[in-house]
């Protein structure tokens, strides 16, 4: 099945709108304004891109809208501070969890609190370990789906290196194993079976090495 | 001090250090000489506004502390030094003024350290004399000789006094060493190396002695090998050229007629060569720049070669010019890092002096965590490590590795817009693919994996890179992690999503 010319126009229109919105967010440092531009852009671009699927019926349009909604939420949560509900910002990383327009305000004035067991000012320990779970799952899925291909080996090595580095830092900085994120560690271990358990084994070895280097 | 019962060598051995020797090193400095050089630079420069206030402030500190007695006496020829700065270094009048402020700051800090060290010794000697007199009186009153067990409590008091004096002088020396390092880096960043005050600064370290030690180390190991290589004849190879350069540097250091600056620079090159051959991570990292000395030496060696060769945008430099250029870049990075850290501490609510003291101590290798604990300012200091830019547990990058805070912000600003556009484009591509017959599960699974993997990988690798290498590492980790894990996420998401298509 190929798309019709009108569908292409709608899709291109949606993308052009999105690009314009993206350019606009680059022109301002005011988070409130960026947030409005971001959501308005998605609000306008999503129907256009979704309607480009009308040739396949309204169900397809609904799938397109859902994809746009999920993508906009996912991106906003992971990479921005644009999700603000009831005055509270919901975001993935710790360093983005700051009040709007706080770019030039010092941390002490904001009264920012970072948990003791957080991974720097980047992720809380639970989020960091759920992230590890996600990338181990991704690498394991590639391994199961593709078999021993270069992509599988590369993915396995990548997550193993990430797990080993994490282990070394945890040990070196005298944190308990997996910073007490036992559920995530268990999931990582189970998910790493297709990867020959390399990530958890290397985590444990590097953790011991980190302890000795203290 | 006339002691009849206490023996100073015994007290020193029991206390674990010699406060008199530490004081002697400090008193060997000549703050008066440095002050005069500062005056000469001040007169040659244009001092206005804030610079003028800083000079007056430092001058007041110097006048208040100086006892008008200089150390062993290494007279500085002020007019020669100003002429050298004008004709060889081509410093402008504003730079003269800033250097004058830094020199006066060193003079003031040295005079204050000498004063407090002398007071500590004076107080120690008075106390020891008192203890010694007490022993004498007790013996006279009892009319009998005390044995060792009777003397032990009084001797312990004397040992504790020696320890206290050692600690006081040690702390003062550390503070001064921090000041000296910071202000020297600031002057070097302005293009002026403080060779002229090297013998007068009372830090017990001399660039010529350091170079001589490097030359001795070289002579003990590599020199004969280099000599054999150079004498072997045949076509000139890069190794032969490098060996020849090392032999030249060795000859410079051992030449009694060589200029102190040339000896220092030749010593730095030989030291870089020897340090580069040590195992990575075997030496303590630079407390300010955070660089591994072995890696730093390797990088410097490579840059030395490139700068001497020249490039389309930079004419070839002499070996000394190249080394001095690198020193200046490092000094700028060091000075910049220190200033930013002080500013950041001030933003955390610390007074300027307090912030400067903390940074000076940190630049001498005192861990931030200990400083935070000791100074009871754990909150501001821990907050500092969270700041964007050049501050992260005292780890910083060299100029050729640096991504300045401004650069990071700019990159972040551009990245934000591009990321938004990129995510929208990815949705568009997925929609288009699906419209053209691609399976729904694999398509949108891949989309979610790519969006999620990019951010997750960026966060993960950003933290890991930042922990290991500082802000530069965080930046590179975020970019590389985002790309690689994004690709992995896309593949994983596609594989997972494909299960729904069956």
Question: How confident is the model over A113-130, as pLDDT tens digits?
Answer: 567 788 877 788 999 999
- Using a CB-CB cut-off of 8 Å, the residues of chain B touching A104 are none
- Using a CB-CB cut-off of 8 Å, the residues of chain B touching A19 are 421, 424-425
Nearest-10 Cα torsion for B264, B270, B275, B276: 130
Buried b (16+ CB within 10 A) or exposed e, B426-446: bbbbbbbbbbeebbbbbbbbb
Q: What's the rounded Cα separation, in Å, for the pair A198 and A167?
A: 13
**pLDDT tens track for A181-210:** 999 999 999 999 999 999 999 999 999 998
B420 contacts A21 by C-beta, under 8 angstroms: yes
Q: Which pLDDT belongs to residue A150? A: 84
The DSSP call for residue B386 is T
Q: What's the rounded Cα separation, in Å, for the pair B356 and B350?
A: 9
Of A205, B242, A42, B448, which is closest to residue B250 (Cα–Cα)?
A: B242
What is this structure's pTM?
Answer: 0.46
In the A/B pair of chains, how many CB contacts fall below 8 A?
201
Q: Does B417 score more than 60 pLDDT?
A: no
**Could you say which of B421, B456, B491 has the minimum Cβ distance to residue A131?**
B456
Q: What's the rounded Cα separation, in Å, for the pair B30 and B103?
A: 12
Q: Which pLDDT belongs to residue A179? A: 93
**Could you say which of B431, B456, B492 has the minimum Cβ distance to residue A64?**
B431
User: Is B31 in CB contact (< 8 Å) with chain A?
Assistant: no
**ipTM above 0.85 for this complex:** no
- Using a CB-CB cut-off of 8 Å, the residues of chain B touching A159 are 488
Distance from CA of A203 to the nearest CA of B (A): 14
> How much of chain A, in percent, has pLDDT values that exceed 90?
36
Contact A22 B453 (CB under 8 A): no
Q: Which pLDDT belongs to residue B394? A: 34
Average pLDDT over chain B reads 76
- Using a CB-CB cut-off of 8 Å, the residues of chain A touching B434 are 53, 60, 63-64
B450, B476, B478, B492: best to mutate for the A interface, most A CBs within 10 A: B492
Contact B488 A142 (CB under 8 A): yes
The single residue listed with the structure tokens 């004035």 is A109
Q: Does B303 score more than 50 pLDDT?
A: yes
Q: Does B152 score more than 70 pLDDT?
A: yes
Distance from CA of B414 to the nearest CA of A (A): 6
User: Is B477 in CB contact (< 8 Å) with chain A?
Assistant: no
Contact A11 B417 (CB under 8 A): no
**Between the ranges A174-178, B29-33, B142-146, where is the mean pLDDT highest?**
A174-178
Question: A-contacting residues of B 368-427, CB under 8 Å?
Answer: 379-380, 383, 385-388, 413-414, 416-421, 423-427
Overall residue count recorded for chain B in this entry: 502
Helix (H) or strand (E) holding A85: strand A84-85
Q: Residues B463-489: what's their mean pLDDT?
A: 72
Distance from CA of A12 to the nearest CA of B (A): 8
């Amino acid at each position: 099945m190929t798309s019709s010319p009108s569908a292409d126009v709608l899709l291109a229109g949606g993308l052009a709108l999105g690009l314009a919105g993206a350019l606009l967010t680059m022109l301002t440092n005011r988070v409130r304004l960026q947030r409005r531009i971001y959501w308005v852009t998605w609000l306008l671009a999503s129907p256009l891109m979704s309607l480009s699927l009308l040739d396949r019926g309204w169900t397809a349009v609904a799938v397109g809208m859902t994809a746009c909604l999920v993508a906009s939420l996912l991106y906003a949560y992971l990479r921005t501070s644009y999700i603000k509900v009831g005055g509270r910002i919901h975001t993935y990383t710790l360093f983005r969890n700051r009040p709007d327009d706080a770019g030039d305000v010092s941390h002490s004035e904001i009264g920012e609190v970072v948990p003791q067991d957080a991974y720097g000012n980047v992720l809380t320990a639970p989020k960091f370990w759920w992230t590890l779970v996600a990338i181990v799952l991704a690498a394991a899925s590639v391994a199961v789906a593709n078999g021993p291909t270069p992509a599988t080996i590369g993915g396995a090595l990548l997550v193993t290196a990430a797990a080993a580095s994490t282990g070394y830092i945890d040990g070196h900085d005298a944190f308990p194993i997996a910073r007490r994120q036992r559920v995530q560690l268990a999931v990582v271990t189970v998910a790493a079976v297709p990867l020959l358990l390399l990530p958890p084994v290397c985590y444990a070895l590097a953790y011991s090495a980190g302890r000795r280097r203290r | 001090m006339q002691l009849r019962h206490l023996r100073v060598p015994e007290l020193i051995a029991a206390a674990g250090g010699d406060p008199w020797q530490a004081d002697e090193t400090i008193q060997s400095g000549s703050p008066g000489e440095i002050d005069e050089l500062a005056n000469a630079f001040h007169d040659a420069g244009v001092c206005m506004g804030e610079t003028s206030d800083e000079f007056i402030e430092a001058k007041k500190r110097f006048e208040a502390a100086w006892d008008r007695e200089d150390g062993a006496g290494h007279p500085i020829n002020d007019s020669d030094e100003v002429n050298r700065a004008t004709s060889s270094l081509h410093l402008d009048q504003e730079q003269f003024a800033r250097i004058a402020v830094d020199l006066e700051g060193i003079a003031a800090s040295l005079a204050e350290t000498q004063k407090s060290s002398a007071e500590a010794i004076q107080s120690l000697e008075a106390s020891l004399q008192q203890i010694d007199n007490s022993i004498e009186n007790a013996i006279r009153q009892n009319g009998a000789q005390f044995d060792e067990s009777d003397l032990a409590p009084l001797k312990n008091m004397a040992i504790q006094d020696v320890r206290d004096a050692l600690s006081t002088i040690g702390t003062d020396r550390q503070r001064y060493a921090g000041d000296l390092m910071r202000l020297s880096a600031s002057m070097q960043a302005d293009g002026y190396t403080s060779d002229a005050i090297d013998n007068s600064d009372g830090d017990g370290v001399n660039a010529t002695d350091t170079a001589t030690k490097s030359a001795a180390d070289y002579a003990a190991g590599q020199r004969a090998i280099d000599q054999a290589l150079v004498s072997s004849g045949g076509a000139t190879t890069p190794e032969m050229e490098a060996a020849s350069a090392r032999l030249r540097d060795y000859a410079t250091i051992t030449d009694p007629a060589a200029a102190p600056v040339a000896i220092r620079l030749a010593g730095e090159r030989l030291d870089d060569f020897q340090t580069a051959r040590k195992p990575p991570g075997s030496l303590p990292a630079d407390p300010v720049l955070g660089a591994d000395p072995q890696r730093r030496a390797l990088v410097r060696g490579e840059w030395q070669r490139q700068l001497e060769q020249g490039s389309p945008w930079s004419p070839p430099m002499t070996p000394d010019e190249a080394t001095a250029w690198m020193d200046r870049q490092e000094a700028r990075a060091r000075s910049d890092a220190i200033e930013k850290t002080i500013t950041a501490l001030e933003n955390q609510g610390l007074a300027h002096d307090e912030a400067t003291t903390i940074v000076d101590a940190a630049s001498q290798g005192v861990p931030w965590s200990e400083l935070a604990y000791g100074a009871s300012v754990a909150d501001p200091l821990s907050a500092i490590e969270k700041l964007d830019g050049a501050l992260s547990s005292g780890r910083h990058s060299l100029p050729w590795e640096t991504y300045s805070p401004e650069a990071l912000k700019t990159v972040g600003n551009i990245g934000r817009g591009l990321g938004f556009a990129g995510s929208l484009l990815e949705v568009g591509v997925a929609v288009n693919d699906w419209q053209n017959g691609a399976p729904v599960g694999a398509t949108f699974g891949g989309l979610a994996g790519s969006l999620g993997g990019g951010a997750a990988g960026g966060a993960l690798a950003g933290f890991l890179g930042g922990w290991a290498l500082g802000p530069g590492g965080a930046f590179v980790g975020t970019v590389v992690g985002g790309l690689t894990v994004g690709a992995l996420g896309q593949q994983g998401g596609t594989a997972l999503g494909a299960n729904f298509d069956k």
